[in-house]
Each structure stands twice: as C-alpha cells, then as structure tokens.
C-alpha cells in the first residue's frame, strides 16, 4: 500500500460513509439492456480476493459504514459470497444481497440465512416471461419465480425490484399483481437511469410522458386499494421532472462503492466520468480515499458549482443533481444536471423526451428503420463499445491527487 494521502486543506467536516456497496464482480449470467455497469466492463476482469474484500469491509466498518450491499454483476457467481456475508455480519453490518436470483439454490440460501444475511433484493425484468426473458436476453423468468418462493420460504422480507422503461411501463398493473401473488413486502418500480447500458439504449427504453403518467395512476390506484400491506416505490424518470434528484444524496456524502478491481467510486456510474483518477483500495486506505482523495472531494459541498447551481436556493437539497447525467448530457460533470428546468441545457432533455414521443409505436420485436438494434450487455458488445468509446476507467489516469 502506498503512503497515506495527506489530509485536505480545512473544509467543512466530512461525515463518514453510511453505505458500502461491494460490487464483487462484473460477471453476470444476464445481459440486461439497462445495466448500469460500465460499458467497457469486459476489459476490467480483475477482482479483489476474499482477503482483500474482508480488509475493505473492516476498514469501512471502522470508518462508520453501517449498511453493506453485495452486488455486481451477479454476486452469486463468487464462491466466497457466503464467507463475505458471514464476515460482514460479524463486523456488525446490515447486509443486503442484490441479485438476479440466478445461482441462488436452496443450499446457498440456507447457508446465507444461517450466516445472518439480513436482506435480499431480487430483480425481475417484467411480469411476463416473454418480456423478462427478452430484456435480459436469457430464459430466467421461471427460475426467478422459484427463487422468489424460496426467499419467502426462508422468511426473508420479500423485496422486488423491477426496472421500468417503454417496454414494460404499460404492464405496471400486472407487475404489481405478480408481486402481490409472490407475497412481496416491498416493491421498487424504478424507471431506467440513463447511464452505462441504459444510456446506450436510451432511444429504445425512453417511455412517453403518457406512459409515465398512466403507470403512476395505476400505482396510486393499487396503493389506495391495498393500503400499507405492500410498500410500492415508484421512481419517476428524472428526464420528465423539472428538478433533478439529489443523486447519491450528494457526491462523497453517504455512499462508498468499490468496483470489482478495488476502484473506489462515489456512485455506481462514476467510471463514466473521464479525467478523474479514482483511487484503488489496493493503493490507499479506505480512510484516506474517503476523506482525502481528489476523486471523493471533487464534487463535495458546493464550491465546485457553476451557475445556475451556485446561486440556487435549492442547491443544498439537490446538490445540482447527478454528476454522471450532467456529463452524459453536456460533456461537463460540473454543469447543472440538465433535467433541471433552470439549466440552460434543459431544452435538450425536453427534445429527448419529444423523440420518445415520436417513436412510441416501436416494439422490441419490430426493427425500427431509424434505430440501431438494442444493445444487450454482452462481453462481445462491451469489448467493441469499450474500444470505440473508452469510458474513463480512472486507473489509467494520472495518480490520484490529494487536496
Ligand atoms: Fe453518478 Fe449520479 S450516477 S453522480
């Protein structure tokens, strides 16, 4: 490990991270068209060893992190998941497995339960087998349904996550029915975020405003009917909002993500930002990464903000929105997130929404003459896109600069 980074110049106190997200691997049996993993993930094969992950968990816990998520890719492809969960619990973390369900056999689930895993979040792509399997480019619907029953059988709170977009927003009622049949306790209906593969497939996935409005109405009707029996979270796609979301509750504020190779990230999608040298846990302590690295301090607080965020009374509420979205849409991560109506680039977001309106008759099974085919998250596509587009990977940049 290199020498510790010097502490930054005096600045407002930095709170400890609350969340440690361990992205154990980019390997995944699914090929979702909206995956938030980096487009060039196939070039990033390195993974921390069991001992290295345990060391990261210990350091983060010592710093104050309380929630530990295991994700990927698919975390179940790691044979040492059980060991990591056991250690996470022993350290006192609240542990959460974020999974497609592929690989969650009864034997593994029983062992995870024994080790104290607190929470499982299972993803489905749709309520219909056809669409679920189309969107993940796999035949996994029946398997996921079996896993959902197992999760219930092992007395876990049933937490279901379904990513929404043009192809399944009209199925929201059926998705809720499916969730109710499964005995779900919490249903997260999260509209696609346009980073990574979602951004590459935006022309296919962006819904129309009517779809969003209708789906929200359906959700509200169910809420009125079933009351508090099941909590349904419906996250409106922020391209349709007038104000940006407080992404990650502010950069470097509560969230510490560790990519499979040990790169530390202030958000899942941060690797898409060029010119930032994201530090690696193999080179620096978690403490120094969190408090002293240039990457984590870059968009903390509001000193980095430009107009109109700098003078906006809402800046302490939304932190200028999402840095990754600002970069994806304007080419500068320090700009206001253009989903904000105060952004001078907001009209471009409105134009993207309008394009979705014109393409409303498209169907996944019918090739649109003007559209490129949907891009599934496969190793071959990743290698091709990675070589063409080369999203920033941090480690190839100059050494991390302390502030
Ligand atoms: Fe990276 Fe919002 S996803 S800051």
The whole-number average pLDDT for the span 156-179 is 93
Mean of the pLDDT values across residues 234-247? 91
Ligand 1 within 6 A of 333 CB? no
Q: Is the distance from the beta carbon of residue 305 to the nearest atom of ligand 1 less than 6 Å?
A: no
Strand partners, 159: 121, 186
Provide the mean pLDDT of the chain.
88
Of the ranges 135-139, 201-205, 331-335, 344-348, which one carries the lowest mean pLDDT score?
135-139
Q: What are phi and psi of 120, to 5 degrees?
A: -125, 130
How many angstroms is it from 193 CA to the middle of ligand 1?
10
Rounded Cα distance between 220 and 224, Å, is 6
Ligand 1: nearest atom to the Cα of 267 = 1
Q: At residue 391, does pLDDT exceed 50? A: no
Is the pLDDT assigned to residue 351 strictly greater than 80? yes
Q: Label the pairing between strands 94-99 and 158-164.
A: unpaired
What is the reported pLDDT for 293? 97
CB of 248 shorter than 6 A to ligand 1: yes
pLDDT, position 390: 41
8 alpha carbon – ligand 1 mean position (Å): 23
CA 324 to ligand 1 center in whole angstroms: 4
Instruction: Give the bridge partners for 5, in sequence order.
Output: none
Tell the residue nearest (CA) to atom 2 of ligand 1.
Answer: 322
pLDDT at 93: 98
Percent of the chain's residues with pLDDT above 90: 72
Mean pLDDT along residues 46-59: 98
Binding site membership of 267 for ligand 1 (Cβ less than 6 Å): yes
- How many C-beta neighbours within 10 Å does residue 387 have? 11
The answer to whether the beta carbons of residues 265 and 259 sit under 8 Å apart is: yes
User: How sure is the predictor about 140, in pLDDT bands with cuts at 50, 70 and 90?
Assistant: confident
For ligand 1, whether the C-beta of 339 sits within 6 Å is no
Q: pLDDT band for position 3 (50/70/90)?
A: low
pLDDT band at 289 (very low <50, low <70, confident <90, very high): very high
Q: Round to whole Å and give the CA distance between 137 and 201.
A: 14
Task: Tell me which of 264 and 236 has the higher pLDDT.
Answer: 264
């Amino acid at each position: 490990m290199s020498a510790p980074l010097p502490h930054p110049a005096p600045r407002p106190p930095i709170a400890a991270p609350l969340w440690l997200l361990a992205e154990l691997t980019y390997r995944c049996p699914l090929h979702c068209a909206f995956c938030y993993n980096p487009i060039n993930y196939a070039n990033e094969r390195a993974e921390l060893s069991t001992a290295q992950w345990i060391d990261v968990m210990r350091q983060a816990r010592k710093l104050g992190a309380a929630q530990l998520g295991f994700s990927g890719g698919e975390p179940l492809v790691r044979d040492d998941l059980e060991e990591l969960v056991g250690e996470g619990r022993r350290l006192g973390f609240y542990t959460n497995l974020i999974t497609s369900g592929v690989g969650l056999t009864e034997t593994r689930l029983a062992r995870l339960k024994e080790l104290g895993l607190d929470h499982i979040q299972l993803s489905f792509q749709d309520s219909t087998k056809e669409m679920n399997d189309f969107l993940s480019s796999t035949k996994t619907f029946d398997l996921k349904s079996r896993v959902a029953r197992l999760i219930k059988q092992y007395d876990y709170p049933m937490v279901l996550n379904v990513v929404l977009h043009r192809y399944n927003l009209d199925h929201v009622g059926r998705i809720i029915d499916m969730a109710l049949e499964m005995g779900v306790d919490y249903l997260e209906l999260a509209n696609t975020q346009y980073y990574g593969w979602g951004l590459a497939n935006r022309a296919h996935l962006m819904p129309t405003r009517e779809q969003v409005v209708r789906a929200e109405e359906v959700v509200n009707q169910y809420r009125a009917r079933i009351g508090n029996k099941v909590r349904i979270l419906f996250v409106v796609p922020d391209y349709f909002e007038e104000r940006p979301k407080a992404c990650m509750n502010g950069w470097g504020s509560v969230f510490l993500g560790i990519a499979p190779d040990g790169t530390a990230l202030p958000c899942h999608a941060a690797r898409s930002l060029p010119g930032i040298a994201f530090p690696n846990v193999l080179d620096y302590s978690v403490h120094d990464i969190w408090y002293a690295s240039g990457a984590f301090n870059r968009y903390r607080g509001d000193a980095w903000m430009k107009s109109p965020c700098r003078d906006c009374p809402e800046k302490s509420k939304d932190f200028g929105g999402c840095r990754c979205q600002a970069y994806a849409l304007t080419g500068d991560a320090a700009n206001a997130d253009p989903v904000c109506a105060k952004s001078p680039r907001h009209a471009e977001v409105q134009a993207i929404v309008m394009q979705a309106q014109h393409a409303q008759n498209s169907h996944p099974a019918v090739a649109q003459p003007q559209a490129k085919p949907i891009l599934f998250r496969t190793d071959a596509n990743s290698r091709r896109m990675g070589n063409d587009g080369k999203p920033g990977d941090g480690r190839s940049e100059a050494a991390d600069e302390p502030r």
